[in-house]
Amino acid sequence: MTMLLAQQTTQRSIGILVLVIVALGGVAYLVISARKGRAEVGSELELAANRKPYLDDDELETTKLDRSLLAAVGLLLLIAVTLPVYWLAEPGRQAGAVKHFDEKFVEAGLTIYEEGAQCVNCHAAEGVGGVATFVVTDEEGEFVDQVQWNAPALNTVLWRFSEEEVRYILDYGRPGTPMAAWGLPGGGPLTEQQVQQVIDYLWSVQLEPEEMTKEIDDAVSQVDSGLAERMLAVRQENEDKAEAYTEFSGTQKTVADLPLPDELSAGVDEDDEFEMARLDEADELQLGEILFNLPVAGGAYNCARCHVPGAAYGQGGETFEDLQYGAMGPRLQGIETRSTPNEHFDFIMTGSEDGVKYFSRSIGSGKMPGFGLNPNADVEGLPQLGPLGMFDPAQVWSLVTYERNLDRIPTANPDGAPQALPDDAQAVTGAATAEVTDTSASQAGSEGGAVPAGEGDLGESPEAEPAATADTVPTPDSVPTTAPNEEG
């Protein structure tokens, strides 16, 4: 009974009231009938209802007929009024029922998150990111180290992964990381419905766009406030261009729809008035390094946690043979030889899709998230957070520029002295001298492959480390001799 009352709704209350009224009326009818009953006396002719003399024609065709017709008209009016009212109220009732069940699923998901699967132990309350103890072993399974693995924040996970990709991660986990398989398909304890309840809970804690943007902007500003101001100025310029482009084209446009340099439509003026604005190269290199190693939210925004072995637990740049774990993404050095800048930009914006080709000969697995566009936008039945992703296009271009210059960022000589730069590589030193509080630029370049990561979500994220500078760069023995496989 307590459970029934806890789940009470307006419709259920009305139904119970009607049931009580009908039940009381039935009892009253039985009591009255019993009291009005009379002893059976006389012959069958007197007792049989069908032998009893009935009303005469005068009474039948006047008062009796009038009462019957009035009752019929009353019933017709009742039906005529109640059916449209029911029809009008039904969509709202259905929507209320859906909302009610959604709330129940969120509550159940919260219970699983905090008490059942205890996701809270690694990802913290409300999915803000935390730390998990993890034992690193070698290929023989021998103990190497016990580390504190940074678990990424989950309050942005549905900004970069589709719901189906999140379900896959929950079902099968992230092998080689603290993220275990929780769904039945991967050998875990949670049923399909319980996994859905966890996903519904994650939807309820996703950050608003303004909160997410502020978190990133504040982190950049702490490193270089001047760079942050220039970044915001370019963002505003692109927003103004998107508004003008909307008026020009007659259809709604966002900053992600602005033409890239070689994609200008025939209807755009030759002065490229709608071309996407970018920072200059020096700023892009510095901002790209900052974003690549961004430590906030357990590393949920950065690339290093997947593309740099060991970055997820603060040992980025150690040899891959010693670490074994900590990188799911491919090497990023040489990406400029495998993709055009626009292909690179598009891939970071949208991420990979399972079984879908990207670049010239690579197949996606769905593990690489989209950082610039929300993969759940316009998907029927899902909450709509907005069409854009975690990074604006200018920030994505900064990552592209940084990653495509990793081979040009110098490494130290064996004696520790910095290498002399060729003239054409001087521009990249701006990024290497930035005060970035995370995995170094040189370490990142040594480990990654084609795109910024994110593939190790729901179980992976980097720990903050000092950035490399032109005077302090990793030695050659910090470069892994074995790299992770290509994405996909």
pLDDT, one tens digit per residue, over 226-269 is 999 999 999 999 888 888 888 787 777 887 778 776 544 444 45
Residue with the bigger pLDDT between 430 and 108: it is 108
Average pLDDT of the chain?
Answer: 77
Q: What does the pLDDT look like over 80-105, one tens digit per residue?
A: 988 888 888 888 888 888 888 889 99
Least confident span in 184-188, 272-276, 477-481: 477-481
The Cα angle at residue 378 between residues 375 and 381, in degrees rounded to 5: 100
In 3D space, the residue among 434, 353, 348, 320 whose CA is nearest the CA of residue 168 turns out to be 353
**158, 116, 110, 150: which is closest to 133 by C-alpha?**
150
pLDDT at 354: 86
pLDDT of residue 292: 93
pLDDT of 171 > 70? The answer is yes
pLDDT in tens, 287-318: 999 999 998 898 899 998 888 888 888 877 66
* Per-residue confidence band for 366, with pLDDT thresholds at 50, 70 and 90: confident
Show the CA angle centred on residue 442, arms to residues 441 and 446, nearest 5°. 120
Which residues share a beta bridge with 358?
362
Q: Are 71 and 64 within 8 A, CB to CB?
A: no
Distances (CA, A) of 465 to 294, 311, 312, 436: 10, 8, 10, 8
Name the residue among 123, 140, 127, 126 with its Cα closest to residue 178: 123
Q: What mean pLDDT do residues 392-414 have?
A: 79
- pLDDT exceeds cutoff 70 at 8: no
Half-sphere exposure at residue 17, Cβ-oriented, CA atoms within 13 angstroms: 7
Which is more confidently placed, 371 or 434? 371
In the DSSP assignment, the letter for residue 37 is: -
Kindly state the percentage of the chain with pLDDT values over 70. Answer: 74
Helices marked H in 319-377: 320-323, 341-350
Per-domain residue ranges of the chain: 120-204, 209-478
The band of 331, judged by pLDDT with boundaries at 50, 70 and 90, is confident
- The reported pLDDT for the residue numbered 255 is 78
- Is residue 446 predicted with pLDDT exceeding 80? no
pLDDT number for residue 92: 85
Helix (H, G, I), strand (E, B) or coil at 362: strand
